[in-house]
Structure 1
Amino acid sequence: MIDLKACPLWLYRLLPFLRWWPNVTPQTFKADTVAAFTGALIVLPQAVAFATIAGLPPEYGLYAAMLPAIVGALWGSSWHLVSGPTTAISIVVFASISPLAEPGSPQFIGLVLTLTFLAGLIQLAMGLARLGALVNFISHTVIIGFTAGAAILIAASQIKNFFGLDVPRGAHFHEVLIHFGSHLADIQPWVMAVGAVTLASGILAKRYLQKLPYMIVAMVAGSVVAAILNAEYGANTTGIKTVGALAASFPPLSLPDFSLNAIKQTLFPATIIAILALTEAVAIARSVAIKSDQRIDSNQEFVGQGLSNIAGSFFSGYASSGSFNRSGVNYAAGAKTPLAAAMSAVFLLLIVLLVAPLAAYLPVPSMAAILFIVAWSLIDFHHIGEIFKRHKRERIVLALTFAGTLIDLEKGIFLGILVSLLFYLYRTSQPSIRELVPLAFELDNPRRKFVPVTTGASTCPQMAILRVEGSIFFGAVEHVQQHFRNVDEADPKKKNLLITARAIGFIDLAGAELLSKEATRRRKLGGGLYLVGVQPDFCEMLRRSGQVDTVGEDQIFKHKGEAIQAIYPRLDNEICRRCTARIFQECHVALPDGTPRSLSDRELAARAATPTAG
């Protein structure tokens, strides 16, 4: 028998499920089986609804929840993430392919399969290139705004099915609203009645029958009402259409359209879906991992999601990602290993073989009502309210992402990412710079403590002490340089500048050149630039850029006490003789040239009573 714990590292990377397979025991298998069956029941109505959103036959949603779930569980890193169709991905698929082909047609399905394959290929390439950290640049606000916009689009896409209207295919959001408002007289009352009953049943079941799947309760209620109305008045009179019987079979083999034209048409939307799906999957995996105390490998998750979509494209599945509902249910139901997610696909197949014929009785307006509830639940009203109350810049990011999604769903998320990154760059390009003075009268502390200057506080007339908090890179050079120049422009006597650099996180070539130029400028003024608390990476950049000699190694100090002791003798003796601030402990001992200086008792008491003097 192979000892899995002794496998080489390369085998773990090729077959990552070998890491957790030894943890499977009869006890964990039992728990995983229960969780898997629960998850299969949950996904059945969801998968049908998601396929409807994507413009595909209902069974394609079920196929997308089978093999991709198995592959994602075995090659991902999360113990509880369950892959499959999701609302956001479904709406992007529909928005991307519906202008190119009639939804549900063979051409539409072929393009969707190509889209799925390319998305999986991009995800796999990103995982193998170790680009997992890229998802960190997509802010939570962008996801909230995009999801809210997608939810509105989902609801808009189902207006025609809920009210029985004939809305032109591929109409934009505003066009759907205009068409709806101008055709209120064409609403089919029996169709709307079935939708309304389903909607009310779903809302009530979700609130008062929490132990039962609200989607199934709502579908049953809508199906019963539709059956009664059709039996009483006839389907031609009521206008109530049904989904039709699902294909009770294993996921059939399929082949994406690999023609050059199909690849050109789907490459850009495939990139969007790849990024969105990865963001969704990693975010869900991390949120569940916090509860389960597990470490998530983003790169491995990229690989798992990529392989799941590639496999799905050859087995009649469309683009999938991590499902928050299924993953949450999987964890709550007691799943112990990824085997639960894999087995849920097997249970789903068995359930489909049993209940597929019943879909013939499922009314289309009932599906629309279910999607209205799903769309409403996608809007995170709590966090949207918090953002609008407390975060001005995030409010702008949220609004632009939301509006951009409504205008062009494919580019909406990129607009949000771009705006959030611009705000981030703006913040980092303006590092906080504060002037400091020594804390009051710490004569016996060689390392000393500095505090921010307050109004009316005494400062050294010859030297400014600035604390830079942030990074000095090409985008921040102008901001930092202006602060440095403001020191001697406001007071020409302050020819010396001491920078406390412990809070400087990063410096690039442009930052090193800035310090070099500032050091040269201050020497010409008759002063100097001094650095204290410099981090190793900071020093390394100064050396690699060749600027350390210009700045001067004798101008760089480890501690503030050491810096003040070295700088004080270089100050102007006559200015120090007339100075009454005396904020450094050296000021009370001697002048810069070494001439002893005594401090009267009255002066000593006055200095001790001043909180910002030393």
Structure 2
Amino acid sequence: MIDLKACPLWLYRLFPFLRWLPNVTPQAFKADTIAAFTGALIVLPQAVAFATIAGLPPEYGLYAAMVPAIVAALWGSSWHLVSGPTTAISIVVFASISPLAEPGSPQFIGLVLTLTLLAGLIQLAMGLARLGMLVNFISHSVIIGFTAGAAILIAASQIKNFFGLDMPRGAHFHEVLIQFGSHIPDIQPWVLAVGVVTLVSGVLAKRYLQKLPYMIVAMVVGGVVAAILNAQFGSDATNIRTVGALVASFPPLSLPDFSLTAIKQTLFPATIIAILALTEAVAIARSVATKSDQRIDSNQEFVGQGLSNIAGSFFSGYAASGSFNRSGVNYASGARTPLAAAMSAVFLLLIVLLVAPLAAYLPVPSMAAILFIVAWSLIDFHHIGEIIKRHKRERIVLALTFIGTLVDLEKGIFLGILVSLMFYLYRTSQPSIRELVPSHVNRDNPRRKFVPADIDTPGCPQLTMLRVEGSIFFGAVEHVQKHFRNVDESDPQKKHLLLTSRAIGFIDLAGAELLAKEAARRRKLGGGLYLVGVQPDLCEMLRRSGQVDTIGEEQIFRRKGDAIQAIYPRLDSEICRTCRVRVFRECHIALPDGTPREAAG
């Protein structure tokens, strides 16, 4: 028996599923099985619809939900993310390839497979290059806004199925609302009845029958009610549609078009799809992880998504990403490990092969009702309320992401990321700069404790001590320079500036040049710039940029006490003679020129 917990690190990186495989206990396996079966039922009508949107034969949607889902689950990092065809990616696939070939034609399919392979290779390369850190710029507010917006889109996409209306597929959110308002007189009462019964039974089962999978309970109840109504009044009278007949076959092997022309035609759209799919997948993984208290490895998620699309291109699948519907259902159904996502693909295959005729009787309004419940559970009302009440800037990010997602799923994510990055850059470009003064408590302590300056703790008339908390980079140079100049412009006597550098996190070439120019400027004024508590990174940048000589190594100190002892003799003795502040202990002993304080009077 191999002890998986004792495997070397390289083996975990090569086969990441070895990390969670020991967690598949009998209880976890049971929960994963139930979640997998539920997810397989959910994806049946969706996969067919997505393939149709992408301009592919219906079975290609089923194929895209099989092999890619297994590979992504085994080589990803999320416990609950389920990969497969999505609405947004399907739309992009159709828009990219339809100008090049007739939808549904062999040429079209070949180009889609090439597109999928290239997208997977790009995603894999990004993962191996450890570019997953880029998703760290997706803030929590963006994820919550995206989740809420996507949940609304899920519900909106099911309105026509829940009410039995004939509405165009793929319409925008506002168009769905307009269409629904104009089609209210056309609501099918029996279809609505099945949907309402399913919805109510699902809510009640979730609340009172917690030991049973409420989704399956709701599906069974809805299916039985639909069967009774059809038997009583006839399907032509009730207009209750079902999923329909499914193609029963294994995902056949396929070969992308490797011609240079096909690669040139699909490389750019493949890059777009790769980035959009990664953004969507990681955003979904992180949004679900906030509920399950899991840590997502973005680099591993990139690798998993890339491998899933590479594998899918050779098994008749088209570009896949994280599925919000299936991932939400997977989590809500109680999945414990990624095995649930992998088994959902297996169950989907078994359902297609063995019980396709039975699945064809599953009512479409029942599926819509289940997705209504899922969509409601995905909206994080608690954190939305906290953000609205307490965080002004995050409130803007949340609102723009939510509205942008309703308009366009991927653009909503990018809009939220862009706005949050703008706020981030604004904050980092204005690092906190505080004036410090020596503490009057324990004045003789050689550690020289500094405290923030205020009205009750005046500072030295000639020396200003500032603490920069943040990074001095090209975007923050103007802000920092303004603070430096305000020191002597507001009081010409303050020609000396001591900068405590321990809280400076990062400095680039522009920041190093700023310090050098400030040192030269203060020397012309008859003072100086002094650095204390310089961190190794700051010191290294000053040396590499050649600015150490300009600033002067004798101006750089390790401790505050050493800095004050070196600076005090450089102060103007005449100003010190009449000074009554005397913030330094040296002030009580002698003037800067060495005259004893008693003799100075």
Common fold: TM-score over 0.5? yes
Aligned partner of 1:211 in structure 2 is 211
Counterparts in 2 of 1:146-185, with a 5 A limit?
A: 146-185=146-185
Deviation at 1:489, TM superposition (A): 1.1
DSSP-derived class of the 2:370 partner? helix
- Matches of 2:135 and 2:580 in 1, distance apart? 56
Kindly tell me: are residues 192 and 346 of structure 1, through their superposed partners in 2, closer, same or farther at Cα, counting changes over 3 Å? closer
Counterparts in 2 of 1:249-328, with a 5 A limit?
A: 249-254=249-254, 259=262, 267-281=271-285, 297-317=297-317, 319-321=320-322, 324=327
**Per-residue displacement from partner, 1:334-383 (whole Å, max 9, x unpaired)?**
x6xx7676566546644654443221211222222222222222222111
- Matches of 1:329 and 1:381 in 2, distance apart? 16
Kindly tell me: are residues 312 and 226 of structure 1, through their superposed partners in 2, closer, same or farther at Cα, counting changes over 3 Å? same
Counterparts in 2 of 1:552-563, with a 5 A limit?
A: 552-563=552-563
- Matches of 2:366 and 2:112 in 1, distance apart? 25
Letter aligned with residue 16 of structure 1: F
Letter aligned with residue 251 of structure 2: P
Kindly tell me: are residues 437 and 39 of structure 1, through their superposed partners in 2, closer, same or farther at Cα, counting changes over 3 Å? same
- Matches of 1:486 and 1:29 in 2, distance apart? 66
Aligned partner of 2:39 in structure 1 is 43
Aligned partner of 1:388 in structure 2 is 388
Aligned partner of 1:235 in structure 2 is 235
**Per-residue displacement from partner, 1:484-517 (whole Å, max 9, x unpaired)?**
1111111111111111111001111111111111
- Matches of 2:137 and 2:381 in 1, distance apart? 23
Counterpart contact for 1:114–1:262, Cα < 8 Å = yes
- Matches of 1:339 and 1:166 in 2, distance apart? 38
**Per-residue displacement from partner, 1:34-82 (whole Å, max 9, x unpaired)?**
4543342332233236436635588767655543343234434x4x735
TM-score (norm 1): 0.85
Kindly tell me: are residues 38 and 223 of structure 1, through their superposed partners in 2, closer, same or farther at Cα, counting changes over 3 Å? closer
- Matches of 2:111 and 2:229 in 1, distance apart? 38
Counterpart contact for 1:17–1:74, Cα < 8 Å = yes
Counterparts in 2 of 1:487-566, with a 5 A limit?
A: 487-566=487-566
Greater shift, 580-589 or 210-219, is seen at 210-219
Letter aligned with residue 403 of structure 1: I
Letter aligned with residue 42 of structure 2: Q
DSSP-derived class of the 2:171 partner? coil
**Any gaps of 5 or more consecutive residues in structure 2?**
none
- Matches of 1:143 and 1:361 in 2, distance apart? 37
Counterparts in 2 of 1:45-124, with a 5 A limit?
A: 45-48=41-44, 50-51=46-47, 54=50, 63-76=63-76, 78=77, 81=79, 83-85=81-83, 90-97=86-93, 106=104, 116-124=116-124
- Matches of 2:363 and 2:9 in 1, distance apart? 53
- Matches of 2:61 and 2:95 in 1, distance apart? 21
Deviation at 1:575, TM superposition (A): 0.5
- Matches of 1:247 and 1:193 in 2, distance apart? 29
Deviation at 1:173, TM superposition (A): 1.8
Counterpart contact for 1:53–1:90, Cα < 8 Å = no
Aligned partner of 1:476 in structure 2 is 476
Kindly tell me: are residues 374 and 414 of structure 1, through their superposed partners in 2, closer, same or farther at Cα, counting changes over 3 Å? same
Kindly tell me: are residues 53 and 156 of structure 1, through their superposed partners in 2, closer, same or farther at Cα, counting changes over 3 Å? farther
Letter aligned with residue 48 of structure 1: L
Aligned partner of 1:579 in structure 2 is 579
Kindly tell me: are residues 98 and 189 of structure 1, through their superposed partners in 2, closer, same or farther at Cα, counting changes over 3 Å? farther
Counterpart contact for 1:500–1:533, Cα < 8 Å = yes
Kindly tell me: are residues 205 and 7 of structure 1, through their superposed partners in 2, closer, same or farther at Cα, counting changes over 3 Å? closer
Counterpart contact for 1:432–1:468, Cα < 8 Å = yes
**Per-residue displacement from partner, 1:231-269 (whole Å, max 9, x unpaired)?**
222222222211113344433335567746566656524
Letter aligned with residue 321 of structure 1: G
Counterpart contact for 1:534–1:556, Cα < 8 Å = yes
Percent identity reads 72
- Matches of 2:362 and 2:567 in 1, distance apart? 84
The answer on 1:417 being equivalent to 2:413 is: no
Deviation at 1:286, TM superposition (A): 8.8
Aligned partner of 2:15 in structure 1 is 16
Deviation at 1:410, TM superposition (A): 2.8
- Matches of 1:8 and 1:45 in 2, distance apart? 38
- Matches of 1:216 and 1:344 in 2, distance apart? 14
- Matches of 1:310 and 1:167 in 2, distance apart? 35
Greater shift, 278-287 or 479-488, is seen at 278-287
DSSP-derived class of the 2:166 partner? coil
Letter aligned with residue 90 of structure 1: T
Letter aligned with residue 530 of structure 1: Y
Counterpart contact for 1:447–1:562, Cα < 8 Å = no
**Per-residue displacement from partner, 1:425-448 (whole Å, max 9, x unpaired)?**
000000000111111142331121
Greater shift, 388-397 or 311-320, is seen at 311-320
- Matches of 1:38 and 1:118 in 2, distance apart? 35
Counterpart contact for 1:436–1:467, Cα < 8 Å = yes
Deviation at 1:589, TM superposition (A): 0.8
RMSD of equivalent CA atoms: 3.6
Aligned partner of 1:606 in structure 2 is none
